[in-house]
Every structure is written in C-alpha cells, then in structure tokens.
Amino acid sequence: MPVREPRGRGVTAAGVVILAAVNEEHLAICSSPEWGKFVEDDLLPWVLGGYDLGDDLLEVGPGPGLTTDILRRHAARVTAAELDPGLAGKLAARLAGSNVEVVRADATRLPFADARFSAAACLTMLHHIPSAELQDAALAEMARVLRTGGVLVGTDGLDTPERRRVHIGDIFVPVDPQTLPDRLRRAGFADARVEVSDDRLRFAATSAP
C-alpha cells in the first residue's frame, strides 16, 4: 500500500513547516535490533499497561516503525502518521498488505476527522517537535481525533547528557513530567497520568467529552 498523502503541505496552523530532523546515529539506534528488542520486551509492555486500544488505533510519529510492528498486534486497524517522507515510504512498503495504513502527516495538523480513532499512541516522538507550543498543538490534535473516552498512551525520554549527545544535529525539546499532566488537560484530555522510571516517562489520558 503506498503512503497516503494529505491535502496540502505538512505545516502547522501558524504556517511553520516542521522539518523531520533526526541525525544518522539516532536513526540507526531507532532502527536497530537492540532497540526493537527493548521496545518489545520492556518499553511497550510498560507503556501499554493493559489498556484496551480498541479497533482503530492512531500512531503518531512511528519513525522506522519498530513500535508499529508491536502496536498492530493490539488493534484491528492501525494508522501510522509520519511526517518524514522517506521513513513513511519505507514503512508503507514494509507493511504493505498488513492492517497498517501509513499517512504522511504533520502531528500538529492531523488530516483525520474528529472522533475517528479508538486510541492513540505517541512513542518517543514528542521531543522531536520543535517547541512546547507545537507539542501542545499536537496533543490537542490527538484529543480531537479520539472518540470520547479514547485513550492516549505515550512515552518519552527525559533530559539527560547522553540523550542530548545522541540528538546533536537534530531536534530535542524534552518534556517535563511535572508539567505534562496540566498540558494534557489543557489539550482536551481527562484522567492524565504520568510516571517516571529511570530516564523515561510514560503517560496516559482519556479524551474528554
């Protein structure tokens, strides 16, 4: 299945083009078998935490798609919204004929109808959005496209020297776990929960009426 292209360009409501900026070392890590094993054995079991993702899941920012490989086992249908055209094309080719549709899309301006999805996942990608304001816009978009009561699950890395080193030359705007619950509520979510373990956080919230 080819990548579905939304109408118009990948820009924010403010007209700012968000560039996909991931350096080669970082991309290699996120494509590696070691990362895939960590995602499958440790990260996603912790993040998903028994949540029911329903029948129509949105993944925002899948990158190389190692998270998508696991998420598609948890929902009948998965839509993977990826801004980078190269990553989107490779993921669409790899998962052709599966229950995954890849759409090239900007997280701050999702090309989907209100209340379409049963759940959304945002996995180690928020820090690639280049400002807190645009991160909040992306969270609000996820709330908009979720059905009432639909769950958002996510994770991100905390601000550490090693993580900053890996992100040299690409975008790294870390998410503060102390302020994230209020940001989720302002974006249109209820029951916001944030937990920190080692150098990562996980979060979950439900779309408010």
Sequence ranges of the domains in the chain: 54-207
Task: Kindly tell me if the per-residue pLDDT of 1 is higher than 60.
Answer: no
Is 20 in a helix, a strand, or coil? coil
pLDDT tens digits, 136-166? 999 999 999 999 999 999 999 999 999 898 8
Report in angstroms the alpha-carbon separations of 76 from 55, 79, 164: 5, 10, 37
pLDDT top residue among 135 and 169 = 135
pLDDT tens digits, 37-92? 999 999 999 999 989 999 999 999 999 999 999 999 999 999 999 999 999 999 99
State the Cα–Cα distance between residues 67 and 40, nearest whole angstrom: 8
pLDDT for 93: 98
Report in angstroms the alpha-carbon separations of 38 from 42, 43, 141, 187, 190: 5, 6, 29, 30, 29
Q: 177: burial class by Cβ within 10 Å (0-12, 13-18, 19+)?
A: middle
State the Cα–Cα distance between residues 146 and 114, nearest whole angstrom: 7
Under CATH, which architecture does the 54-207 domain have? 3-Layer(aba) Sandwich (3.40)
Q: Which of 144, 134, 152, 125 lies closest to 67, judged by CA?
A: 125
pLDDT tens digits, 92-143? 999 999 999 999 999 999 999 999 999 999 999 999 999 999 999 999 999 9
State the Cα–Cα distance between residues 139 and 161, nearest whole angstrom: 26
pLDDT for 199: 96
**Buried b or exposed e, range 39-51, using 16+ CB within 10 angstroms:** beeebbeebbeee
Q: Taking the CB of residue 71, how many other CB atoms lie within 10 A of it? A: 25
Query: Is this model's pTM higher than 0.75 or not?
Result: yes
